[in-house]
Structure 1
Amino acid sequence: MGGDTITTPATRAHAAPLAQGRAARELGLKRGEFELAVRLGRVRTVPADDGGRRRVAREEIERVRDSAGFPDRLREHVRAVGTTEGAGLMDITTARFTRLARAGILTPVKFYLNRYRAVVWLYLAEELREFAAAEVNAPLLTGRAPDRMRARLDAGVDLRARNWRSRHAGFLLGQCTDAWERAAAVASLLDPVQIAELVRCPYERGYLHKLRPEPSGHGAPDSPAARIAERITTADDPHEISWLRASLLLSMAEARRLRPAPRPGTGHPAVGHQEPTAPLTHAQALAPADPETLPVTSPGPEEENPPADDAPRRPRPSRKLLDWLRRNREA
């Protein structure tokens, strides 16, 4: 037979990308840990051939396994903690921790609903330790809070959901491979009324819905839990909405140049017509959200001691988009 290599069906199957559940088991991660690893870019995924849920290449599994300190270091990178444990890591009270989070100083990495349908925010332990270790942050951890921060908190401002959406938007856009997917990712953060106002063509709206990122899985569709999660994932302040509207318009213009939306059942592309909408000013379109001008929102209930938590290169989002996301998290 000489040195020839025979490729068998079993060999090809072995090299095929793995479903995410299988990949999590291969890496020894719980489902929540694996989902965070993907969101943080610790484990890279690839599009599925059948258009279903993204998968993990066998080479990616081997790359992660070969990384230094695997698996303990990987688990530490994706360790998420609640308010009580997070306050302990930072050596502050839970009350101060909650105030820092509501003021937008600490950014949640995920959330879930407890059995009372209260929103429980979780934070990366690694980020909390780094924040507490930075000397520049020492005044926020001891003594009196800055006057501007106290004024916002006294007014009832709660930026946890907005900051989570900013982080979530960065993840969604990082998964996109073309302008249509970017438009669908941005649209997923807007109310359907906003989308209908900006995208008048029904075929384009249908295509955006088809490409919409899969939901986070908080309850059955139209259930009380799903409705609460939908409120969290939908932009609700004017500056955030203005930025998303402008981003959707820009993404749609790029997408239409790439290819028109398909017409269902005909195989022919849609014309891509859009009726004119009220234009935004340049400042409205590109201005990042300013915590000082956000409307007052009532914080939702929070469980202070939640239970323990059970690729290839992609096209990058625009620099303006990434800069806005970064500024929004640091606000």
Structure 2
Amino acid sequence: MSGNTITQPTTHTTSIKPTVVPAPAGATGRPFAQSRAARELGLKRGEFDLAVQLGCVRTVVDDGGGDRRVARTEIDRLRAEKGFPEALRERVETVGSTAAAEILDVTSARFVRLARLGLVTPVKFYVNRYRAVVWLYLAEELRQFAADENNVPWLKGRIPEELRARLDAGLDLRPKNWRGRHLGFLLRQADDPWTRAAAPASLLDLVQVAEIVQDPYERAYLNRHRVTRPDSGPPDSPAAQLTARIMTADDSDEIEWLRADLRQALAAARAHRLAPRPLRPGAAPQLPPDMRRSAKQQPTPTTGTEKRHGLLGWLRRRHP
């Protein structure tokens, strides 16, 4: 993947700070939509999305079935934290390789080598207009790495010969490490067993998934619960194809681990709720266990056809 990776991406920070909108006094009602919550916290939408993924901002399920929302109490909690809003922005600040090298006080080339060795893990990536992958890193993590005395040999010393040979042979752990971090993001946001099962499935190729999930209806149901990347472009575009390559596990150990995770999550999902499937002609709909119990307690409704038949019978008896 290193052949498609740009080594001098731009920094995603800016000196212009967004204005924090004062929270409405005594506000009650539904939780905030995510766009509104981002404004309340003084974050740009990309920063807010990353804050949710990192667990800095907690979201709740929308009772109306829409996108997840943010409770007003969560907004109040974050606004009451010391150093708000600058402290929150620092936690989600991302930088490219050039700015990352400056934080570590190394050359850009050395930083890229450290990243390819897996010593620092990307938090995001995108494909630029030149079809090159731009990796982004958390500035806070880089500052912690630079402050750790145990990392001085990596920053100042000579990289061991064995590792330099592996780098020359094409070693690049950035995609694999990003996938591991991304899986954590997906699991953190999953509130349904099928969504949890879809998380490891989204990082395996279709053949691997089909070997484990042999029922086509279960595969379709898993696909419905997958979180897609809206920034990857049309499915057949070069950017989408490159994104798909990064998002698909290609290391044997990683694949086996994901397959095992999928099997375990799939068993839990099946126990929770069976995947829906088409009804046979004349068959009654299959309801989840809790809905079956409630359905038995409900009186059978009278249909319009039954009402009409009853009326016709009454008229025939009255007027033979």
**TM-score interval (norm. to shorter):** 0.7 to 0.9
Matches within 5 A, 1:29-48: 29-48=43-62
8 Å contact 1:169–1:185 — kept in the other structure? Answer: yes
Aligned amino acid, residue 20 of structure 1:
Q
Closer/same/farther in 2, CA of residues 27 and 196 from structure 1, 3 Å limit: same
Contact 1:179 1:258 in 2 (8 A): yes
Residue of structure 2 in register with 1:268 after alignment? 286
Q: Give the letter for the 1:211 counterpart.
A: H
Deviations 1:76-98 (A, max 9, x none): 11110001101001101101100
Q: Does residue 195 of the first structure (1) align with residue 209 of the second (2)?
A: yes
TM-score, structure 2 normalization: 0.77
1:232-275 Cα offsets, whole Å, 9 max, x none, are 111112111111111111111122222211224674269xxxxx
CA shift for structure 1 position 17: 1.9
1:21 to 7, 11, 35: 35
Give the TM-score normalised by structure 1. Answer: 0.74
Which residue identity does 1:237 align to in structure 2?
D
For structure 2, which runs of at least 5 residues remain unmatched after alignment?
1-24, 289-320
The AA in structure 2 aligned to 1:268 is Q
CA RMSD of aligned residues (A): 2.0
**CA distance change for structure 1 residues 13 and 225 in 2, over 3 Å: closer, same or farther?**
farther
**Which of 1 and 2 has greater Rg?**
2
Q: Which runs of 5+ in 1 are unaligned?
A: 1-10, 271-331
Pair 1:130–1:28, CA change in 2 (3 A) = same
Distance 1:152 1:256, change over 3 A: same
Query: What amino acid sits opposite 2:227 in the alignment?
Result: P
Whichever residue aligns with residue 146 of structure 1, its letter is P
For 2:159, give the aligned amino acid: A
Q: How far apart in 2 are the matches of 1:71 and 1:13?
A: 20
Aligned match of 1:251? 265
Contact 1:260 1:269 in 2 (8 A): no
2 CA distance for matches of 1:211 and 1:34?
22
Could you list the per-position Cα deviations for residues 102-155 of structure 1 after superposition, in whole angstroms to 9, with x for gaps in the alignment? 111110010112121211000011100110110001000012112332232122
What is the CA-CA distance between 1:202 and the residue it aligns to? 1.4
**Greater relative contact order (Cα < 8 A, sep 6+):** 1
Q: Give the letter for the 2:98 counterpart.
A: T
Q: Secondary structure at 1:15's aligned position in 2?
A: coil
Could you give the per-residue CA deviations for residues 179-202 of structure 1, whole angstroms, max 9, x where no partner exists? 222111111111112111111111
SS in 1 for 2:262: helix
Q: Report the counterpart of residue 107 of structure 1 in structure 2.
A: 121
Distance (whole Å) between structure 2 residues aligned to residue 236 and residue 63 of structure 1: 41
Aligned residues: 260
Residue 215 of structure 1 corresponds to 229
Task: Measure the CA separation in 1 of the matches of 2:79 and 2:27.
Answer: 20
- Of 163, 179, 183 in structure 1, the residue corresponding to residue 193 of structure 2 is 179
